Amino acid sequence: MEHKNVSSRSTSQKALRLNLDDKKYGTIVEIGAGQEVARQFFLAGAAAGTIAKTMSAYDMKFSDAIYGVQNDGRYVSKARVKAMMEQELNLVLERVSEGRSKASRYFAYAATVAAKSFNRDNECHAWCGIRIQMYPGAEPSNIKVHVRMHDDNAEAQQQALGVLGVNLIYAAYYYFEDPKMMIDSLTDSIKPGRIEIDSIEFVGPYFEDIDNRAINLHLIRSWKTRAIMFRPDGTIGVPAEMLYKKNVITIRGSFRPVTNLNVDMIEQGKKAFYAQKGISEANTIAIAEISLNDAKGNDNHVPEEDLVQRVQLLNALGYNVMISDYTRYFSLRAYFRQYTKMHIGIVVGMINLKQIFDEESYRGVEGGMLEGFGKLFPDNTRMFIYPELNAEGELREFSDLKVQEHLRFLYRHLLENDFLTGLDTSDINLFKIFSRDILKQLKSGGGDWENSVPKLVAEQIIDNGFFGFKQKRR
């Protein structure tokens, strides 16, 4: 991943600048990866000017006694880091605020970490956060991030988290008016590929105008992660939690807006997916995926507001949503395989199947089409293909696809080994629906577009003025 270095200051220079400012004062608590953030401040010198207390409550009973037991019972969780930040900032304000300058702005940094274990292959991740007063006497605001560590040893992971923690504290004080700059700066002095930030949340009185859905999209565009996930309630999800021990059925689309045709494809795909042995709605997550890149891998720079509107409409229908920068389907499958070993189903239209058999689609892939297919169908992965109408208005299914002569045995191999499954359609008239026509009608205020989208989607578009909607003149 490309690395975006925002600040010219090194980690030690950032820590020293904070240490020398006696108006910034707080606590650093770290569980699970040593005290690397605190160590950075001590190494920089003059840490007494910044740090009121450092602590690591490794024993679970000690930790529970200090921070309580969270509902999910987990120690490396969003709820846990929130409890840590709140408890520690309350103690700072209670114990030292009366004796310090009224111009002081207090903070509590917290991290709860599952670093590389000595004798097992565990998920290496952390929840890190800061609770901070943006100005003297202000009600505090929170910033929380979820981090995945990719170094292969605990020492390197700890070092990376130490730098990240300094970056987060520094950004909260000096970049708080520019959330995108805050995100850009989080990996300063960390080499590319060592950590991934797949979720960030801004909460509190100073961040009331921030849409967390939109700002999380910047994690992709700043190369902090490859994908962001949204739960049906619109909140940001952590992929490792949402996909853990789940079968995955996904469909890619622009969903601008989501139409009755899109919904039929999703539902027909789910129906066929659930028909497989051992797969049910209870052990499956269904995801509508939007790629930021076109078929040639070019970022089309869609405004974040536009993407958020699409997410909101899909969420209104109860779907999980993922936005990624993946172009090829085999990369999408590999992303899911990081988090689950269970079945993966990908719903596509006939046009997508044609692209998969287009050798031009594999330009830049060393092994060409064979490498692409090898990565797409290695284990428990199946494609579900929705039919199309041909020029004569007849239904055309995936088994009717004509491929180039030298690819016919590859196509036959996929058919005979059940890597491809055909889907039905509930209504042949759905093929008359085109998103581009709906968008034109929305902007002109005319047409019968409401009949082409689910009722909930139409209501949201009208109520919120999505996609340049103009009310019909009476």
Q: How far apart are CA 216 and CA 4, in angstroms?
A: 16
- Top pLDDT among 293 and 282 is at 282
Q: C-alpha distances in angstroms, 141 versus 104, 341, 429? A: 15, 38, 51
Say whether pLDDT at 309 is over 90: yes
Q: What is the mean pLDDT of residues 13-33?
A: 95
Say whether pLDDT at 294 is over 80: no
pLDDT in tens, 315-363: 999 999 999 999 999 999 999 999 999 999 999 999 999 999 999 889 8
Residues contacting 157, CB < 8 A, separation 6+: 33, 113, 115, 116, 124, 149, 151
- Residue 433, pLDDT score: 95
Q: How far apart are CA 385 and CA 395, in angstroms?
A: 13
Half-sphere exposure for 437 (CA within 13 Å, toward CB): 12
**How many other C-beta atoms lie within 10 A of the C-beta of residue 438?**
21
User: The tokens of 16 are what?
Assistant: 């020293």
Band of residue 229 on the pLDDT scale cut at 50, 70, 90: very high
Q: Which residues pair with 346 in a beta bridge?
A: 250, 383
- Residue 57, pLDDT score: 85
Burial class (CB in 10 A: 0-12, 13-18, 19+), 278: exposed
Type of residue found at 373: F
The model's pTM is 0.92
pLDDT in tens, 96-154: 988 899 999 999 999 999 998 877 778 899 999 999 999 999 999 999 999 999 999 99
